[in-house]
Structure formats: C-alpha cells, structure tokens
C-alpha cells in the first residue's frame, strides 16, 4: 500500500527533461504605487473628501418626525423594523421600494459605465476610497515607492518595526472609524456615541464593529487590487456594457510606438513619443501596464494619465499619449481625435429603463396611502350559529397607521344586510372609533352578526374611514353561513 501511494505521488508531480521545478502559479507581488500630482489625482482627493464627509456626518443629521419617532435623518431601525430616509419611511411589507432602489442603482451603474467606463470603480467605490486612504497612510510613515520597497525587502530593524507598526495602527484606526460609523446608521448616532464613550455598548454592537473593522483592515490593507480583480463581479461583466464609443483610459499606439529610451533635445525620428519610462506603471494602484490595452484590472482612476502628462510636459511633447478616449478615438487617432458619442442606442435604452423605474418609484411614494387595512377570517370555527338563528363570524383586523400621530378609524361592512359589529373585549372602544397609535399596527378582533344567508358564503367588503382625513381603505373578505355545513 505504501509503495502504491509513492507511485501515485510520483505520477502527480510535474516533470520535465531537466528535472527543474515547474511553477504553475506565481505568488502575487506586492504593489507599491508611486505618488503623482495632476488633475485626476486632485479630483480623486476632492471626491474622497466629499464622499467620506457624507459617510461620516450623515448619521448625525436630524429630521423632526414628531414625538416618539426617531429624529435621525438616515436610519435603519432593525428592532422597530423601519427604514428612514429624511421624509421617507419604509415598512417591512414595502420591500418593493428596496428592490426598486437596488434595481435603480444597478441600472444607473450600467448607464454610467456605458458612458464613462469604470468611473464608479475609479472614484466612488468603497474599496477604492479606503485603499487610497491606506496607501496614503503607508506613504506617510514609510516614504515613497522606492523607500517602501527597500523597507519591506530589508531586514527587521527598530526603524522598520516602528514604521510598519505606525502604519498598521493607523490602518486599524481608519478601519475602526469606518466600522463605527457604519453601525451608527443602524442606531441613534448621538446615543450610541455617548454609550460608547461611557463603555455601555452592547456585545452585539461591539461584535459588528469588530467584524467590520477587521474586514476593512484586511480588504484595504492587504487584499487591495485582489478584491477588484478576483472578488468583485463587476470587473468580469463590465465588458458587456462597453462598445467602441465607451469612454475608457487608453494608450495611443499610433503616436507612442515604437517606444524606446529618449533624452530631451534629441530628435525622435522614426521613434514614438513613449520613452518607456514606466511612470504609468509605477503610479497604477492595480500594477498594470495601460500600454498593453484595456484590461479587467483597470479601474479607470486616471493616475496613469497624470503621470504620462507630466513626462510629456518635461519632454516638451503634447499631452494625451495616455488619455480618456473611446476605442474608436484611440484606433483612429491618426485621423484626428473623434468626439465621444454619448447619445447612442445603448445609452438610450439604459436611460429609458432608468427613467421608467424612477417614475414608478416616485409615483408609488407620492400616492402612498398613510394607512393600510388587513382582514383575516377566523378559521376555527368558521362560523357559530346562535340560539336566535343568527350567524356569527369572527375576524382579525389589523390597521397599519403610518402617520406620526394617533388616528381614529370608523369600521363599516358592505355586501350584507342588517349586520352588526361587536368588538371583542374592547372596553370603551367601538367599531365607530378605533384608535391606532402613531407608527403602529392596531390589532382588533370583531364578530359580525347577521341573519342566516341563502348561500354558503357571501362576499363582503370591510372599510375603515380615517376621521381626521376622511380617507377610506377597503379590504375584501367573506361571510360564512349555515349553508356551508
């Protein structure tokens, strides 16, 4: 048996004539992006400041909804099963609004991609924003690209330990602030912040904060470009939204090739304008060479454009060797730059679908009723025959009051003659005055008494009328009679 296992092991080993080791998979090399200054780098910093400002400050915005209702403008209240967004309040049974929001976000992403390529990935994606912050912290403590490489490749010294420790402490702090802010969207922000400072936070909240801190630290600190390349599905299906007129970052082959080293002042002759300086590769956070063509790893951040334009300025050459352009514009660059066509069949389709979904969501919110009525017929027994010959049917009635004040409703029945309504164990409450607390569900049990019917069942309609607004809500039901036996 041992010999058989040995033979199988030998058969499974890759072999060649020189008995050299065959490496099928290479270890991922750590990327050390070089800093760069330019229009797109400054634009990214401005957008990071705006998006992080919104993220960190939004939980503290107040919105007055009345007494006993949360006044946090943006809040997902899991215990109360509510979601608040300024004046909009979404209940669990209104999950179709959430579906509509998610579909709208997806179509909007497709629409933006068909127009501007991976603009979301390069400027707004959470992974991109926090990775930029982590790289900035790394550069502050460890220096520029070359210094970071030498530090990581060199032996462990006190200086190396202190620099790397300071970097990771900063990463953990950023990750912790990220996780703590995310939790604020699910709790009252000032109250949770006060509890945290006084060490009264629940284990559940601490557990979520710990998990989110670790995941942010791992994704932005270590995974980085691996997330965009292997974990994010968007990189895989983005090409389905591209066409020759989609705006992408590309390298002008006609102008740049043949590339080669060049000194300032020398004549280019038959050589292209690309001097093979590797600047575009060194600044790329994904570690790719844009000169190899459009790749799924490219997040269209524009840093390679800044790097190349800086080199072109130093060489007294026109900018735009690496630029935002369309596939058509890059391949036809020798004929002059072609302007992007933003209005084309693909973008029109996306715009129509997006407009339709937004119109439906807006219509639903504008015509949203402030209350709902639900009626459930008792199943056991379906009816009771009284001694006087009348029939009793029982019903559970639930009235959902979405308003932020107490509402009084009057109940009525249509479809059956001479019926009486009795509220079970209601005390002073009558069918003509059913109080429902704000943002609550009023639960009542009724008995409907009527004479014996000729048919086994009769369709009836329950209706409630809000006495304050006069709005009536109806719900179909059935009245079971003796004929069903």
Number of residues written out for the chain: 485
Tally the C-alpha atoms within 13 A of residue 405's C-alpha that lie toward its C-beta.
Answer: 6
pTM of the full structure: 0.82
In whole angstroms, what is the distance from residue 149 CA to residue 287 CA? Answer: 14
Of 112, 128, 106, which is closest to residue 51 (Cα–Cα)?
128
Give the 3-state secondary structure of 191-203.
HHHHHHHCCCCCH
Q: Residues near 179 by Cβ (< 8 Å), separated by ≥ 6?
A: 208, 209, 210, 211, 212, 213, 216
The pLDDT of residue 25? 66
Query: 391 near 442, Cβ under 8 Å?
Result: no
Instruction: Say how far apart CA 473 and CA 371 lie, in whole Å.
Output: 8
Domain residue ranges in the chain: 243-335, 371-484
Return the pLDDT at 309. Answer: 96
Closest CA to 298 of 277, 284, 282: 284
Q: Indicate the fold that domain 371-484 takes in CATH.
A: Immunoglobulin-like (2.60.40)
Structure tokens at 13: 């080993």
Which residues contact residue 162 at a Cβ distance below 8 angstroms, ignoring those fewer than 6 apart? none
The DSSP H or E segment spanning 377 is strand 371-377
Query: Per residue of the chain (485 residues), what is the pLDDT tens digit?
Result: 344 344 434 434 444 445 456 666 667 788 999 999 999 999 999 999 999 999 999 999 999 887 778 899 999 998 888 899 998 888 888 888 989 999 999 999 999 998 888 899 999 999 999 999 999 999 999 999 999 999 999 999 999 999 999 999 999 999 999 999 999 999 999 999 999 888 888 999 999 999 999 999 999 999 999 998 889 888 788 878 888 888 899 999 988 989 888 777 777 778 889 999 999 999 999 999 999 988 888 999 999 999 999 999 998 899 999 999 988 888 876 555 567 788 888 899 999 999 999 999 999 888 888 899 999 999 888 888 888 888 899 999 999 998 888 899 999 999 888 888 888 865 667 888 899 988 888 999 999 998 877 778 889 999 999 988 889 999 999 998 865 44
For the chain, the 3-state helix, strand and coil shares in percent, each to the nearest 5, are 45, 20, 35
CA distance 82 to 75: 8
Confidence (pLDDT) at 408: 92
HSE-CB of 275 using CA atoms within 13 angstroms = 21
Extract the tokens encoding 306: 């800044």
**Closest of 120, 118, 174 to residue 288, by C-alpha:** 118
| Burial (CB count within 10 angstroms: exposed 0-12, middle 13-18, buried 19+), residue 329 | buried
Laid out side by side, the sheet with 407-414 consists of 434-436, 407-414, 457-466, 472-480
Q: Count of CB atoms within 10 A of residue 287's CB? A: 17
């Amino acid at each position: 048996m041992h010999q058989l296992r040995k033979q199988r092991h030998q058969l499974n080993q890759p072999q060649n004539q020189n008995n050299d080791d065959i490496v099928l998979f290479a270890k991922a090399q750590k990327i050390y992006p070089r800093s760069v200054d330019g229009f797109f780098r400054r634009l990214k910093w401005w957008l990071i400041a705006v998006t992080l400002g919104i993220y960190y400050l939004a939980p503290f915005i107040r919105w007055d909804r009345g007494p006993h209702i949360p006044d946090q403008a943006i809040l997902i209240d899991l215990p109360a099963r509510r979601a608040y967004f300024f004046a909009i309040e979404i209940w669990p049974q209104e999950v179709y609004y959430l579906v509509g929001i998610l579909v709208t976000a997806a179509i909007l992403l497709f629409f933006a991609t068909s127009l501007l390529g991976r603009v979301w990935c390069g400027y707004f994606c959470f992974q991109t924003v926090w990775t930029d912050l982590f790289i900035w912290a790394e550069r502050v403590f460890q220096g520029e690209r070359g210094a970071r490489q030498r530090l990581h490749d060199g032996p462990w010294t006190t200086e190396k330990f202190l620099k790397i420790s300071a970097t990771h402490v900063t990463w953990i702090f950023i990750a912790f602030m990220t996780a703590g802010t995310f939790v604020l969207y699910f709790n009252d922000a000032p109250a949770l912040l006060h509890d945290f400072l006084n060490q009264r936070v629940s284990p559940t909240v601490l557990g979520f904060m710990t998990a989110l801190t670790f995941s942010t630290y791992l994704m932005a600190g270590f995974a980085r470009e691996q997330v965009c390349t292997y974990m994010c599905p968007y990189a895989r299906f983005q090409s389905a939204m591209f066409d020759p007129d989609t705006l992408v970052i590309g390298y002008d082959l006609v102008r740049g090739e043949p590339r080669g080293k060049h000194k300032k002042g020398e004549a280019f002759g038959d050589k292209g304008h690309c001097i093979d300086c590797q600047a575009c590769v060194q600044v790329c956070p994904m570690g790719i060479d844009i000169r190899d063509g459009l790749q799924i790893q490219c997040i269209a951040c524009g840093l390679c454009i800044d790097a190349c334009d800086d080199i072109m300025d130093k060489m007294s050459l026109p900018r735009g060797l690496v630029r935002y352009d369309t596939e058509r514009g890059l391949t036809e660059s020798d004929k002059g730059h072609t302007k992007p066509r933003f209005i084309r069949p693909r973008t029109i389709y996306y715009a129509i679908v997006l407009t339709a979904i937004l119109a439906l969501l807006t219509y639903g919110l504008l015509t949203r009723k402030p209350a709902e009525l639900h009626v459930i017929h008792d199943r056991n027994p379906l009816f009771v025959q009284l001694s006087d010959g009348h029939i009793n049917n029982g019903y559970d009635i639930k009235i959902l009051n979405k308003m932020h004040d107490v509402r009084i409703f009057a109940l009525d029945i249509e479809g059956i003659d001479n019926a009486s309504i009795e509220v079970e164990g209601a005390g002073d409450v009558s069918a003509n005055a059913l109080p429902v607390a704000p943002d609550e569900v009023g639960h009542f049990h009724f008995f409907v008494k009527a004479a014996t019917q000729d048919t086994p069942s009769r369709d009836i309609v329950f209706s409630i009328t809000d006495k304050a607004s006069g709005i009536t809500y109806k719900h179909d039901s059935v009245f079971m009679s003796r004929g069903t036996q």
